[in-house]
């Protein structure tokens, strides 16, 4: 029995939460590094966030991951916010410090770029444009991480144009906005395409992103993950493109969180990847 307050216990909070893979990831590492601790999932309704966070702190948890729908609000409840969380405008990780302060971080952009660098190490050396599909929180994390690597132009395509324009206002001239229905016209010049929409999350869902015209030397990355490759990635792979799946981002975003809470930088290995992909 692992008692809260006597062991290093962290959590993931959100709703719905039962599907979260975070407990699998962190428990795998806890076992791997023989750390006395645990990682649990807690369902927290939107109107309970501001009481749930201090309650977890009072009970002696060391921090938590924050997922839908709390990521934006969590930042407001923190005492300190890392620069990257400010850039992304939301938090996925809270650290409850011993002095009672709460630090909010966002490691989604880090997870995305680490996974991309691993899956397609030469992506920055390919000629052409960078296209990001989507304009929600995930797209924001991707854009912020890409800009941090020195990328000078990112074309954002989103079903709701106004949301893409908000990103341009936030990130400035490095972001260009294109019409969602024009997306197929961008393939010709694309070196990297990132799907940061939620399209493809439902297993077996029909593919609504057109891929005709995608060139074989384009790197295609999809943030959506599941037990099967998304229809978008499969089609891109069949078109000869190098593809990078979303599971790696999920695993890598967890690395800095685990390190902050438990003091060990964990390794993402193939066994863990398999475990999470089931």
Q: Which of residues 93-112 bind ligand ATR (CB under 6 A)?
A: none
Check residue 76 for interaction with ligand ATR (CB under 6 A). no
DSSP code, position 207: P
User: Which position's Cβ is nearest ligand ATR?
Assistant: 136
Among 43, 73, 126, 159, binds ligand ATR (CB under 6 A): 159
**Residue 108 contacts residue 141 (beta carbons within 8 Å):** yes
- Smallest separation, CB 143 to ligand ATR (Å): 11
Q: Closest CB to ligand ATR among 58 and 160?
A: 160
Among 58, 149, 198, 203, binds ligand ATR (CB under 6 A): 198
Interior CA angle at 277 toward 138 and 69, to 5°? Answer: 35
In angstroms, the CA 173 to CA 192 distance is 19
- Smallest separation, CB 131 to ligand ATR (Å): 13
Q: For the chain, give the longest Cα–Cα distance.
A: 58
Q: Which stretch binds ligand ATR (CB under 6 A): 1-9, 99-107, 197-205, 229-237?
A: 197-205
- Smallest separation, CB 184 to ligand ATR (Å): 14
CA torsion angle 60 39 245 91 (round to 10): -10
Among 95, 199, 241, 250, binds ligand ATR (CB under 6 A): 199
Check residue 182 for interaction with ligand ATR (CB under 6 A). no
- Strand 63-66 relative to strand 37-43: parallel, antiparallel, unpaired? unpaired
Q: Closest CB to ligand ATR among 57 and 197?
A: 197
Among 106, 115, 144, 158, binds ligand ATR (CB under 6 A): 158
Q: Which stretch binds ligand ATR (CB under 6 A): 118-126, 183-191, 192-200, 236-244?
A: 192-200
Among 58, 76, 149, 160, binds ligand ATR (CB under 6 A): 160
SS3 40: strand
Q: What is the distance, to the nearest Å, from the Cα of residue 223 to the centroid of all Cα atoms in its chain?
A: 7
Name the percent of the chain in helix, strand, coil, to the closest 5: 40, 20, 35
Check residue 197 for interaction with ligand ATR (CB under 6 A). yes
Burial class (CB in 10 A: 0-12, 13-18, 19+), 6: exposed
Strand intervals (E) in 82-239: 93-96, 102-105, 129-133, 154-158, 175-179, 190-195, 219-222
Among 63, 134, 256, 266, binds ligand ATR (CB under 6 A): 134
- Smallest separation, CB 162 to ligand ATR (Å): 8
Catalytically annotated residue among 2, 21, 71, 271: 71
DSSP code, position 209: S
Any catalytic annotation for residue 174?
Answer: no
**Residue 230 contacts residue 224 (beta carbons within 8 Å):** yes
In angstroms, the CA 169 to CA 63 distance is 33
Q: Closest CB to ligand ATR among 76 and 198?
A: 198
Check residue 138 for interaction with ligand ATR (CB under 6 A). yes
Contacts to ligand ATR by CB under 6 A: 134-139, 158-160, 163, 197-199, 208
Catalytic center residues: 71
């Amino acid at each position: 029995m692992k008692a809260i307050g006597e062991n290093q216990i962290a959590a993931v909070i959100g709703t719905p939460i039962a599907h979260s893979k975070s407990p699998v990831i962190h428990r795998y590492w806890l076992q791997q590094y023989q750390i006395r601790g645990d990682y649990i999932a807690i369902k927290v309704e939107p109107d309970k966030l501001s009481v749930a966070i201090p309650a977890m702190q009072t009970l002696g948890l060391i921090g938590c991951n924050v997922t839908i729908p709390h990521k934006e609000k969590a930042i407001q409840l923190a005492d300190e916010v890392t620069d990257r969380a400010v850039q992304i405008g939301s938090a996925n990780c809270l650290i409850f410090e011993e002095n009672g302060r709460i630090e909010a971080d966002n490691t989604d952009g880090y997870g995305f770029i680490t996974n991309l660098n691993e899956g397609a190490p030469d992506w920055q050396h390919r000629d052409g444009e960078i296209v990001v599909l989507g304009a929600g929180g995930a797209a924001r994390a991707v854009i912020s991480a890409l800009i941090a690597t020195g990328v000078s132009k990112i074309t954002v395509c989103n079903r709701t144009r106004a949301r893409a324009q908000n990103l341009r206002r936030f990130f400035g001239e490095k972001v260009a906005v294109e019409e969602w229905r024009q997306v197929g016209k961008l393939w010709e010049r694309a070196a990297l395409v990132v799907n940061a929409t939620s399209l493809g999350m439902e297993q077996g869902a029909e593919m609504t992103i057109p891929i005709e015209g995608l060139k074989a030397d384009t790197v295609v990355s999809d943030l959506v993950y599941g037990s099967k490759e998304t229809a978008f990635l499969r089609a891109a792979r069949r078109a000869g493109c190098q593809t990078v799946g979303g599971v790696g981002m999920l695993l890598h975003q967890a690395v800095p969180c685990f390190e902050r809470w438990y003091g060990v930088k964990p390794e993402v290995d193939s066994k863990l990847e398999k475990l999470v992909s089931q």
